[in-house]
Amino acid sequence: MNYYRLAIQEGQSSKWTWKSTPLTSLAAVLQLLRVYSFIPQDRIRVFTSSSKEELNELLSRENNNLVSGSVTASRFLRDRHIRAGESVQSVATTICAEKTAPGSSDESGLSFLDKKRLEIERGPGGDHDTPYTFSLPISTPQLLVLARWQAKVQAGEFLS
């Protein structure tokens, strides 16, 4: 389940403040964006997360000029192919149709593979920043193959 929350940058302040509670309905987000349509869309940010607790962390990151994954209201609408003046009812109908489309497996409208990809991307990360430590194989046949391969590399047989 995705949670959404809107933040607004008011006046001359560079800080973002919450203007909504955590929302689970995309239609509710669109209604709020319509309510705040008098505010320039670059001063409204939409935060999205898989947990309510993470939303506060994302706001803190945005206020500290760190990557938060939030987007402006105009980008949020554009990414969903929604025009700013489009009625909430027609958008809600489109969203419901997308959720029941073939290939979707849950209430967020994402396929199982997309959901897994998002879980991995939002997860703790891998070992890509850990240096690789090579160790020789234990068995003699593997050691002999490795020694032959190393000799061929040093002789230049594998140069392209």
Give the tens place of pLDDT for each residue, 47-106.
999 888 899 999 999 999 888 888 999 888 888 877 655 544 454 444 444 444 444 444
User: Does a structural domain hold residue 8?
Assistant: yes
What is the pairing mode between strands 44-49 and 71-72? antiparallel
| 3-state SS assignment for residue 6 | strand
DSSP string for 48-95: EESSHHHHHHHHHHHHTTS----EEHHHHHHHTT--TT--HHHHHHHH
Q: Residue 102 belongs to what domain range?
A: 3-122
Q: Residue 12: is its pLDDT beyond 90?
A: no
User: Does a structural domain hold residue 131?
Assistant: no
pLDDT on residue 101: 46
Question: Is this prediction's pTM over 0.85?
Answer: no
Using N-to-C axis directions, what is the helix angle for 26-35 and 88-99, rounded to 10°?
A: 160
Domain count, the chain: 1
State the average pLDDT over residues 100-121: 60
